[in-house]
Structure 1
Amino acid sequence: MAKSSLSVLLFFILGTLSFVLSTAVADLTSPYLSPTTIFPNYQKMLHTFRIFICSPQNTKNPISYNTPAESLFHTSLVNSPFVTQNPNEAHLFFVLFPSDFSTRSIARLVRDLRMELPYWNRTLGADHFYMSCAGIGYESDRNLVELKKNSIQISCFPTPYGKFIPHKDITLPPFNPLPHSLPQAPVNKTATFLGYFRSYGDRGDGESQSSLVNDLSGDPEFVIGSNASDQLTHMVRLASSKFCLFFYAVDVSGIGDALRFGCVPVVITEGPIQDLPFLDVIRWSEIAVFVGTGRGAKELKHVLERTCKDGYERMRGLGMKASQHWVWNESPQPYDAFHTVLFQLWSRRHAIRYARREWV
């Protein structure tokens, strides 16, 4: 009897271990943090998600934005079936204002929402979201404080320092005008270069960027292009390089195209990055390499060569799978940038609803 029980226990342990190992292996074939839940949840979002738009009163001019990504998100949302005219069926409320709105105007807008509609006071703005590439700082006005601390901020990547709250706020993937009708890189790509960096002149942090670029420019395994390079040359270099280098806070708009052309992004940063697009959807550590700005050309090359020996093809393949989420379309398509941003909003729809205070 004891021997039989031991056999059953051993069988159970081995079965559990096999399941855990198979799950771990399966996860390595997906760029998503939760590959078993993202697709059914995405389908549920498509059929049930509703957003009510809170527009500024007495606005004569149409809403305008400073970036194409903001404009595309706004236009796509307004023309989508996700918008409802009935605030009682809304999961989230979009506090709409243009890029040139002053902090005083934003505070006045929130004050009007508080006074005219009952929805803000139910959660102190926790089921509201707004869009601002510049972000909102920590102001003393009560309306701005609640908007900043409680509401979801959609900003551009990268977000200005101090203007982003992790786990609450989200960022728009950068818009890049490269034609999306072009095919992805072939599955078995033979790269000509180890690394490719598209220089942006004197933009960015200056000294550390220039020093590294100067050191790499003499290495035949790296190709350094200028911002003035034509798009065709740029795409050829993306497709013929194993890694594409980006300096965080300089210009990271090409990350999506690097992923699509099978060029693994290498993000050079001073510290941890908390505002990556789709941070709670994509397993970034599996599709990109992150290195510190203090590394010289020799150390950087060592990291890239080591990555080539340890999982490069997997990273490249997962990155190509994930690249669809960086595509901005004039007419939104499944799993594109617009829908993936909406999915992040959908994931944040469960706001704490405070008991309504009755005044006597």
Structure 2
Amino acid sequence: MNLKSYGFQQKPNLAGKLSNLDRVEADLLQARAAIRKAVNGKQTQDIDYVPTGPMYHKPNLFHRSYLEMEKRFKVFVYEEGEPPVFHDGPCRDIYSMEGIFINQMEMNDKFITKDPEKAHVFFLSYSVAMMVHYVYVRDSRAYDLLRITVKDYINVLSEKYPYWNRSHGADHFILACHDWGPEVSNAVPNLYKNSIRAFCNANTSEGFKPVKDVSIPEINVRTGIIDDLLGGPSPSKRSILAFFAGGLHGDIRNVLLEHWEHKDEDIQVHKYLPKGVSYYAMLRKSKFCLCPSGWEVASPRVVEAIYTGCVPVLISDHYVPPFSDVLNWKSFSVEVSVNDIPNLKKILSNISPRQYIRMQRRVGQVRKHFEVNSPPKRFDVFHMILHSIWLRRLNLKLHDDQ
């Protein structure tokens, strides 16, 4: 976790009185100090969960930061905008995180504040997936109406409230799981350049900046609950070395299918599964689950693998995995470059049984951070997304120009 500030620098209020923004910044200053003390301190006790182990870059730091977030973090949600494009989103498809997060954020008494003067961040509560459904002209590939919608929305907020202009959008955040989230954020230069953008499509080749943006997991919650997706057998009962099933959705998958489809019993790669074969049963039979990027970098297969206890194999050249400022993905997943797809069997076979067992165990340990709960539970995916936003706000210092 990087606690180095960027962007705006804090300067003293010459009148000698603390403005509301000064108070917010003073609160964050105390949080930063408490987190720094945790670097070499004793692990804080916690009734629910104490993060430990190599799955975390710095478990003490993460835990203290998380506790400081619970203690202090306040989010103001603008009330402007009408559903379904605003304050709503899908909850039962590949873009589920948009609707789930919006709903859980706006229903959350712990982190929501009705007083914008007390807010650390401001949530721009729109859904790109719903815009595509209700505003986009089908098959046009034209983003103009989507961009206009966002531009008009921010113009309304910037004219009605002082907060967007005060920080040039730097203490505002959006969340989108739709592939076009980054493209729509281009509608307003300061939204793209300054704001915290929480995206499933965390593609560094398309302008995603890990220092200020947030990578969130793509979770396909088909039924609205995940209980039937969780769990899998022990390593000894997983007979398949690696598994993938999916259509020709992007160049990386084309390469994967070309090299491995029906070529090797150990590397089970399918464009379409045989009739009667269960996708989730195959995940549970496999040691490693291949997660190649499609047309965009994110894939729901990453979380599906974690849910079923299968070690994810991330195949992409530009993807920033979720929560990677906290989670050490190398300890529980395998990263393979696109150029190394022909060497997949060699790479995975060279992982010793002992090392694999450790990785598989760690997959089970980090699973809680990807689970969707209603209502949310501590350390679950909702709280991890919020914590990632909290970290970006900690890295930002604003000053009051008034």
Range into which the TM-score falls when normalised by the shorter chain: 0.7 to 0.9
Distance change >3 Å, CA 224–CA 138, structure 1 → 2? closer
Structure 1 residue 91 and structure 2 residue 120: aligned?
yes
Structure 1 position 354, deviation (Å): 3.6
Question: Which of residues 252, 259, 281 is equivalent to 2:326?
Answer: 281
- Structure 2 match to 1:38: 62
Distance change >3 Å, CA 151–CA 213, structure 1 → 2? same
- Structure 1 match to 2:248: 202
Distance change >3 Å, CA 314–CA 35, structure 1 → 2? same
5+ residue gaps, structure 2, are 1-39, 44-50, 132-144
Question: Which of residues 155, 164, 173 is equivalent to 2:199?
Answer: 155
- Structure 1 match to 2:307: 260
Structure 1 position 97, deviation (Å): 2.4
Q: Which moved more, 1:288-297 or 1:338-347?
A: 288-297
Question: Which of residues 107, 111, 114 is equivalent to 2:155?
Answer: 111
Distance change >3 Å, CA 53–CA 232, structure 1 → 2? farther
Distance change >3 Å, CA 158–CA 44, structure 1 → 2? closer
Structure 1 position 109, deviation (Å): 2.3
Structure 1-normalised TM-score? Answer: 0.79
Question: Which amino acid in structure 2 is aligned with residue 213 of structure 1?
Answer: W
Q: State how many pairs are aligned.
A: 324
Distance change >3 Å, CA 188–CA 106, structure 1 → 2? closer
CA distance in 2, matches of 1:185, 1:69: 24
Structure 1 position 289, deviation (Å): 0.9
Structure 1 residue 76 and structure 2 residue 104: aligned?
yes
- Structure 2 match to 1:243: 288
Structure 1 residue 180 and structure 2 residue 208: aligned?
no
- SS of the aligned residue for 1:294 comes to helix
Distance change >3 Å, CA 232–CA 35, structure 1 → 2? farther
Question: Which amino acid in structure 2 is aligned with residue 347 of structure 1?
Answer: L
Structure 1 residue 29 and structure 2 residue 57: aligned?
no
- Structure 1 match to 2:240: 193
CA distance in 1, matches of 2:387, 2:52: 22
CA distance in 2, matches of 1:75, 1:161: 31
Distance change >3 Å, CA 70–CA 227, structure 1 → 2? farther
CA distance in 2, matches of 1:231, 1:241: 18
Question: Which of residues 258, 264, 269 is equivalent to 1:219?
Answer: 264
Q: State the superposition RMSD in angstroms.
A: 3.0
Distance change >3 Å, CA 38–CA 45, structure 1 → 2? same
> For the Cα contact (< 8 Å) 2:311–2:363, is it kept in 1?
yes
CA distance in 2, matches of 1:247, 1:235: 17
CA distance in 1, matches of 2:167, 2:105: 23
- SS of the aligned residue for 2:227 comes to coil
CA distance in 2, matches of 1:111, 1:68: 28
- SS of the aligned residue for 1:55 comes to coil
Structure 1 position 151, deviation (Å): 0.7
Structure 1 position 76, deviation (Å): 0.6
Question: Which amino acid in structure 1 is aligned with residue 61 of structure 2?
Answer: T
Percent identical across equivalent pairs?
25
CA distance in 1, matches of 2:146, 2:361: 44
Structure 2-normalised TM-score? Answer: 0.72
CA distance in 2, matches of 1:324, 1:52: 27
5+ residue gaps, structure 1, are 1-19
CA distance in 1, matches of 2:293, 2:365: 23
Offset from partner CA, 1:117-142 (integer Å, 9 cap, x none): 1222332111111123323449887x
- Structure 1 match to 2:386: 342
Distance change >3 Å, CA 126–CA 249, structure 1 → 2? same
- SS of the aligned residue for 1:295 comes to helix
- SS of the aligned residue for 1:290 comes to strand
Distance change >3 Å, CA 272–CA 136, structure 1 → 2? closer
- SS of the aligned residue for 2:69 comes to helix
- SS of the aligned residue for 2:221 comes to coil
Structure 1 residue 326 and structure 2 residue 326: aligned?
no
